């Protein structure tokens, strides 16, 4: 929703004419043990490769193409067309049934036969798409086996999932291209409205489980791509449960299925036989609050490597044998946002437990706002990249002797380095975004200098923020402040990496920009995260109020002109802050927020809040709509010292427009004066002309209330 580079034309000209920045590769890929290729967005012009041993550079090199991205044909009605690993077949869904087609003969084989409006085979029910598989899945709920013989898939029964209507003022075939979205709320379908005028708009009926509602019933199936035979995993679909994304054993002989009960505080991993659906328990984990799914695992000869956080309050790498008999922790220390990059298992040995493997991983370890590439071997963890810079896009060579990685921080543009992991002295830089004329002091001194700051809460949690000072900053003056927040669990806003100039508008208009995190962001591991359990938004609000107190203590801050802005969870936070703590945050723009947690979906909310039946007091005390009466502004006392603005898209199928309508009603009952902007058919984030309007209107709001213009 934010534009990466928003500058007045004069600043753009200065940057370009002074050759402050170089052309910079947008991707890189190893094409051998000793050669890495670098590519640019401009159709390959400027591509090159480097021999990491000799340093020799070759120009005009093509990056290896992913040939499977180019589909040879598309069957009628095919959704999520996906190649088999050997590229001989493609699987897809059509009318909520699972199909497979032979690439050579184009012969189609139907694998399921009961697809309907409520039975979805290989196509995710909305809550799984949004909360478990992720939006990148595009609702795909089937997975090829590595040997291309089987397809694991989920069958969703939405029969008992309540229907939620989403109204559009426009007909179903209305051209919504100007919003930069194709209005296809796949969670539901348009329904005819008998007796309604043709100008009456349209309605989509979506299957959306709100807290306490019935979830879809799920069966895990395994289909034979040749014979069409389907076997079902031995789970009871009547149980109140969730299934995480399944994954295949490398030899294709086992499908691993992870399961959690509705309370999401235990996780079981089962090995399921593709032959008869029988299952055996491989791994069990429990935790007092909630557990995340196993993701990003790396497969070894006899077991897998995974990241978990149940034991030390921080994330650690573990080895788990495929039979579940061996579980070994391989790392220690304060790791977070940890992902395993690669594993060198060395030679096979008897009683192997992973402890002699060299595990390469990316994590925030030496810094809470910068990631480093590290390795673990025999219990010792070594930091490979310079912890003064944030490491991103790490790629290990096939023989794991070299590392290509991008490093940067808030004031240092991106640089691509090649690390020699055998002879560290031979590490060298390949590309530098900073041009000959780049000078951090000169450039940021004019455009707004970013700086990472920290604040310690009353109970000892150190929280980070990024502050961007106005152009030509004078510390003897006082400036208004705009604070960007989110606040959602394990979703940080603050990272010490180079972002260009996303906040140049504030700098150019004499406003201090701050991006702040609370303890829920994960910078303090599970110790901070666990405190939000069953009281979502309570301690987060308290942390942001402490941030306001910290900012007021700075000599250059105009203490009565502090604004706050957030979207989604950040919208929830913003509304609560301005309504309950208008002495801390005087102005706010809350977009697409949840204002009553019982109105949001089951999987996300109940993970952090437990169910409404188990935690009625928590749901009641955290309802933003219940705090509308604390908002102090009415027509009779309005003087411009406090103002709340709400925005929402009426087509939002994630956080329903219902939330904002409920808050509007509560504010009106309280006689409050506030601002409201509605985006017809707008989704969870505004794009196209709506996005432009949103940005321009918000800028006007901040100039009016923070600057008096």
For the segment 369-393, what is each residue's pLDDT rounded down to a tens digit?
999 999 999 999 999 999 999 999 9
- Which residues have CB under 8 Å from 21's CB, separation 6+? 15, 413, 433, 434, 435, 438
Largest alpha-carbon pair distance within the chain? 80
The residue written with tokens 């009553």 in the block is 596
27 is written with which tokens?
A: 């991707």
What pLDDT score was predicted for residue 4?
30
Nearest C-alpha neighbor of 187 from the set 170, 164, 217:
164
Please give the average per-residue pLDDT across 346-363, as a whole number: 95
The answer for residues whose C-beta is within 8 angstroms of residue 709's C-beta and 6 or more apart is 703
- What three-state secondary structure class fits 667? helix
Task: Please say if the pLDDT value at position 82 is more than 70.
Answer: yes
Q: What is the pTM of this model?
A: 0.94
Cβ–Cβ < 8 Å for 513, 431: no
Q: For 8-22, 242-256, 670-684, which range has the lowest pLDDT when averaged over its residues?
A: 8-22
> In whole angstroms, what is the distance from residue 203 CA to residue 185 CA?
11
The candidate with the shortest Cα–Cα distance to 518, out of 499, 537, 501, 504, is: 537
The model's pLDDT over 538-549, given as tens digits with 9 standing for 90+, comes to 999 999 999 999
Residue with tokens 């985006």: 679
Instruction: Read off the pLDDT of residues 239-262 as tens digits, 9 standing for 90 and up.
Output: 999 999 999 999 999 999 999 999
Looking only at the bridges linking them, the beta strands covering 57-59 and 79-83 are: unpaired
Q: 7-11, 539-543, 581-585: lowest mean pLDDT where? A: 7-11
- Cite the beta strand spans of 158-225 per DSSP E: 163-168, 188-191, 202-207, 217-224
**Which pLDDT score is estimated for 355?**
95
Phi-psi label, residue 625: left if phi above 0, alpha if psi -120 to 50, beta otherwise: alpha
Q: How confident is the model at residue 14 (pLDDT cuts 50, 70, 90)?
A: very low
Higher-confidence position of 264 and 41: 264
Alpha-carbon gap, residue 169 to 564, rounded angstroms: 31
Phi then psi for residue 580, to 5 deg, are -90, -25
Structure tokens at 599: 């109105």
Strands 150-157 and 217-224: antiparallel
Query: Which pLDDT band holds residue 17 (cuts at 50, 70, 90)?
Result: very low
| Intervals of CATH 3.40.50.1820 along the chain | 449-707
Helix (H) or strand (E) holding 690: helix 688-707
Least confidently predicted of 344-353, 381-390, 593-602: 344-353
CATH number of this structure's domain 449-707: 3.40.50.1820
Q: In the structure, what pLDDT confidence band is assigned to residue 15 with cuts at 50, 70 and 90?
A: very low
Residue range 402-422, pLDDT digits in tens: 999 999 999 999 999 999 999
In CATH, which of 3.40.50.2300, 2.140.10.30, 3.30.930.10, 3.20.20.70 is domain 68-162+208-295?
2.140.10.30
H or E segment at 501? none
Q: pLDDT (tens digit, 9 = 90+) per residue, 604-625?
A: 999 999 999 999 999 999 999 9
Residue 343 confidence (pLDDT) above 80: yes
Residues 260/261/265/270 CA torsion (nearest 10 deg): -30
Q: Within a 10 A sphere around the Cβ of 665, how many other Cβ atoms? A: 12
Structure tokens at 189: 């379908």
pLDDT of residue 52: 96
- For residues 569-582, give the mean pLDDT: 98
CA dihedral (153, 159, 162, 163) positive or negative: positive
Region 67-90: mean pLDDT is 89
Asked if 615 contacts 645 with a C-beta cutoff of 8 angstroms, the reply is no
Residue 5 confidence (pLDDT)? 30
Tokens of 220: 């895990």
> What is the overall mean pLDDT for the chain?
93
Task: Compute the distance between CA of residue 642 and CA of residue 350 in angstroms, rounded to an integer.
Answer: 69
Q: What are the tokens at 219?
A: 């069966």
Q: Name the pLDDT band for 189 (thresholds 50, 70, 90).
A: low
């Amino acid at each position: 929703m934010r534009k990466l580079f928003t500058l007045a034309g004069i600043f753009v000209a200065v940057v370009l004419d002074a050759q402050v920045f170089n052309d910079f590769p947008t991707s890189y890929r190893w094409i051998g043990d000793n050669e890495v290729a670098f590519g640019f967005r401009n159709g390959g012009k400027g591509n090159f490769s480097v021999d990491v041993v000799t340093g020799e550079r070759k120009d005009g090199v093509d990056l290896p193409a992913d040939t499977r991205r180019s589909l040879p044909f598309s069957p009628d009605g095919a959704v999520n067309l996906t190649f088999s690993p050997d590229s001989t077949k493609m699987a897809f869904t059509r009318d909520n049934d699972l199909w497979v087609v032979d690439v050579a003969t184009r012969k189609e084989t139907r694998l399921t036969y009961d697809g309907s409006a409520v039975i979805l085979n290989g196509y995710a029910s909305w809550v799984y798409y949004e909360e478990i598989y992720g939006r990148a899945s595009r609702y795909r709920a089937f997975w090829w086996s590595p040997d291309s013989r089987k397809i694991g898939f989920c069958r969703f029964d939405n029969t008992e999932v309540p229907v939620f209507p989403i109204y559009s003022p426009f007909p179903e075939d209305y051209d919504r291209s100007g919003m930069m979205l194709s209005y296809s709320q796949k969670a539901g379908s348009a329904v005819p409205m008998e007796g309604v005028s043709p100008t009456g708009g349209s309605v989509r009926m979506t299957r959306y489980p709100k807290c306490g509602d019935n979830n879809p019933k799920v069966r895990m199936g395994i289909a034979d791509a040749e014979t069409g035979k389907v076997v079902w995993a031995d789970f009871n679909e009547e149980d109140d449960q969730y299934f995480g994304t399944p994954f295949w054993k490398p030899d294709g002989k086992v499908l691993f299925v992870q399961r959690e009960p509705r309370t999401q505080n235990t996780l079981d991993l089962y090995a399921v036989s593709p032959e008869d659906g029988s299952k055996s328990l491989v791994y069990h984990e429990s935790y007092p609050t909630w557990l995340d799914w196993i993701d990003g695992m790396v497969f070894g000869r006899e077991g897998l490597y995974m990241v978990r956080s149940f034991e030390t309050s921080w994330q650690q790498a573990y080895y788990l044998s495929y039979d579940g008999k061996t579980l070994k922790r391989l790392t220690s220390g304060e790791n977070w946002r940890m992902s395993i990059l690669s594993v060198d298992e060395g030679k096979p040995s008897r009683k192997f437990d992973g402890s002699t493997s060299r595990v390469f991983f990316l994590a925030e370890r030496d810094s809470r706002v910068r990631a480093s590439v590290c390795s673990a071997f025999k219990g010792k963890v070594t930091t490979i990249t310079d912890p003064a810079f944030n490491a991103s896009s790490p790629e290990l060579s096939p023989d794991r002797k070299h590392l290509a990685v991008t490093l940067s921080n808030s004031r240092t543009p991106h640089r691509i380095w090649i690390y020699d992991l055998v002879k560290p002295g031979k590490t060298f830089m390949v590309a530098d975004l900073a041009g000959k004329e780049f000078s951090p002091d000169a450039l940021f001194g004019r455009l707004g200098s970013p700086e990472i700051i920290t604040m310690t809460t009353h109970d000892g949690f150190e929280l980070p923020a990024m502050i961007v000072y106005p152009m030509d900053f004078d510390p003897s003056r006082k400036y208004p402040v705009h604070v960007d927040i989110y606040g959602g669990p394990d979703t940080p806003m603050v990272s010490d990496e180079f972002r260009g100039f996303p906040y140049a508008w504030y700098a150019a208009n004499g406003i201090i920009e701050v991006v702040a995190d609370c303890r829920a962001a994960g910078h303090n591991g599970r110790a901070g995260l666990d405190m939000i359990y069953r009281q979502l938004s309570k301690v987060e609000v308290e942390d942001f109020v402490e941030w306001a107190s910290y900012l007021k203590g700075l000599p250059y801050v105009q203490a009565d002109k502090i604004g706050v802005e957030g979207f989604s969870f950040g919208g929830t936070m913003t509304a609560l802050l301005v309504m309950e703590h208008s002495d801390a945050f005087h102005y706010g723009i809350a977009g697409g927020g949840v204002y009553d947690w019982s109105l949001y979906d089951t999987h996300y909310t109940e993970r952090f809040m437990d169910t409404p039946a188990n935690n009625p007091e928590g749901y009641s005390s955290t309802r933003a709509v219940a705090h509308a009466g604390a908002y102090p502004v009415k027509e009779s006392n309005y003087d411009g010292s406090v103002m709340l603005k709400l925005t929402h898209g009426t087509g939002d199928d994630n956080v329903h427009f219902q939330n904002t309508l409920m808050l509007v009603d509560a504010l009106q009952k309280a006689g409050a004066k506030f601002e409201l902007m509605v985006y017809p058919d707008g989704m969870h984030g505004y794009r196209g002309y709506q996005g432009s309007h949103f940005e321009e209107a918000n800028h006007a709001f901040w100039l009016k209330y923070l600057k008096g213009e």
